[in-house]
A = this chain, B = another copy of it.
Amino acid sequence: MQTLKDLKALTAFLKETQVLSSAISLLSWDQETYMPSGSGQARAEQLSALMGLVHERQTGKEMSQLLSASVDLETGELKAGSSSGDARASALLREIWRDYHRATQLPSDFVRRMGLECSLAHQVWIEARNKNDFAHFAPSLKKIVALKKEEIDYLGYEASPYDPLLDTFEPGLTVAQIAPVFAALKEMLVPFVEKIAASPAQPKDDFLRAFYDEEKQIIFGKKVLAAMGFSFDAGRQDISAHPFTTSFHPTDVRITTRVDPHDLLSSLFSSIHEGGHGLYDQGLSVADFGTPLGESISLGIHESQSRLWENGVGRSRPFWRYFFPILKETFPDVLKGVEVEGFYAAINAVRPSMIRVESDEVTYNLHIMLRFEIERQLIEGDLKVDALPELWNAKMEEYLGVRPKTDAEGVLQDVHWSGGAFGYFPTYTLGNLYAAQFLNQAKKEMPELDARIEAGDLLPLKKWLNDKIHRWGRQYTSGELVQKVCGETLNPKYFSDHLHKKFGEIYRLE
């Protein structure tokens, strides 16, 4: 029987590969935060070369020799005597093979071309967004869509060409599974949004767009992050155009935010959101760094952590019973006369908006649905890139009743496509569903949780998540983990119940 110890040579090789990947992450982080404007081309070449080197290591002779000692490289089956009985070791081998198999499906040359194109496209996307001009970005996006189709050819698929893209971010997920979930959500959400819009009980929230000093916003956000247990000894927060989290190691996790002096919520909730991601990355096993047991399971599970903190905690009444007085001390003039109940209603105002990352809990998944549908049409059908802005705007009108006036507040708002991340958006909705399910379970196990949060003590929840989710890495698949933590598989009911209860009360629906 092989144990983790016997796999030492293999894991040492993986750790060294991960060091290269961490260097890529640092180059990308730097690109978003501090890189001088004139070095985009050089950085693109650097990223492409490094991605190629990583890919060569992931698929080369040394890797295949090390892995083939324990696993049949063709089928992924463990060889006789390989880690039978050691659950960690067999999960490790299963996940290493999954990564190996996926990586060997893509030629190194393709990985380099994709890396180079994405890095260049990213610069072009920034320019296009600044210029409000989709046509400037379209040629890059066309190249990326073509590359994704090439990628699908390498990966292969059974039911839908979109499946391997989903699988990239949420292992095992298929259109056949997720499309009905979206359909049910749409059926529930569109009339629910209309009902809310028709309610006479509309929260007053114009004070959220008064002037809030940027530095004070950042300082308040950092207080919240510290209370969540985000370690600034093992991480930091910077400013970037699009908030994100990246990790080089559990002791070096970087989150970013953006700050708008006339929008109190933008920086605050992006901080809490990325902080939730950051806690996951800081909570991964240091001992298993570089191997699948030290990695997050999937983007859906990752997003469940950010959304649980952002919405389940950060938009909850107990949280603000504690933090609102502190916020009021920070901005005494602007918040004079606002009480905690009014603030709670205001930050939960449901108002169809153009921008996904600033949308409320109710309409958020409609933004995702729109992207999911467009991506499927690009990948499964024959939708042309040039037709995107018009289709985007039409769907916004259909689902949310609002129509973007510019590309920047429409089709150009998200970074994802410029990075080739098709199949990524659905994991946001999955994250919302998992988040509601996990938080429901945490409250069941810790009936005092709301009281702790109301006392400003967020650490019991952080520790519960560390214990139940973070520390396992990829030992379980996302399905297995949800089953293990909650005693049942994915169940959208908790999310739906949460929305009806919370917004039913705020909007006084019958």
**Which residues on A are within 8 Å of B, measured CB to CB?**
15-16, 19-20, 22-23, 26-27, 30, 34-39, 41-43, 45-46, 49-50, 53, 231-236, 238, 248-249, 251-252, 289
Known: A36-B236, A36-B252, A39-B252. 4 other contacts (CB 8 A): A16-B49, A23-B26, A42-B251, A46-B248
26 A-B contact pairs sorted by A residue (CB < 8 Å): A16-B53, A19-B45, A19-B46, A20-B23, A23-B26, A23-B27, A23-B50, A26-B26, A26-B27, A30-B30, A36-B231, A36-B234, A36-B236, A38-B234, A38-B251, A38-B252, A39-B234, A39-B248, A39-B249, A39-B251, A39-B252, A42-B248, A42-B249, A42-B252, A43-B249, A46-B248
Q: Cβ of A233: which chain B residues have Cβ within 8 Å of it?
A: 36-38
Judge whether A34 and B236 touch: CB under 8 Å.
Answer: yes
* Bound form: Cα–Cα A53–B19 in Å: 10
Tallying the copies of this chain within the complex gives 2
How far does the alpha carbon of A160 sit from the alpha carbon of B22 in the complex, in Å? 41
CA distance A23 to B232 in the complex (A): 24
- Neighbouring B residues of A231 by C-beta, 8 Å: 36, 38
Residues in B neighbouring A26, C-beta threshold 8 A: 23, 26-27, 30
Asked if residues A20 and B53 are in contact (CB atoms below 8 Å), the reply is yes
Distance between A62 CB and nearest chain B CB, rounded to angstroms: 12
A264 to chain B, nearest CB (A): 26
Given A49-B16, A53-B16, A251-B22 contact (CB < 8 Å): no
Which residues of chain B are near A236, meaning CB under 8 Å?
Answer: 34, 36
Contacts of A49 in B (CB 8 A): 15-16, 19
A35 to B254, CA, bound (A): 9
- Give the distance in Å from the alpha carbon of A46 to the alpha carbon of B18 in the complex: 9
**A27 partner residues in chain B, CB cutoff 8 A:** 23, 26
- Measured CB to CB, the nearest residue on chain B to A42 is B249
The smallest beta-carbon distance between A28 and chain B, in angstroms, is: 11
Contacts of A37 in B (CB 8 A): 233
- Which one, B30, B46, B235, contacts A36 given CB within 8 A? B235
CB distance from A54 to the nearest CB of B (A): 11
**A252: nearest chain-B partner, CB-CB:** B39
**B53 and A252: CB pair below 8 A?**
no
CA–CA, A503 and B435, complex, Å: 72
B50 x A19 contact (CB < 8 A): yes
Q: Please, how many angstroms separate the alpha-carbon atoms of A289 and B43 in the complex?
A: 13
Q: Closest residue to A16 on the B side, CB-wise? A: B49
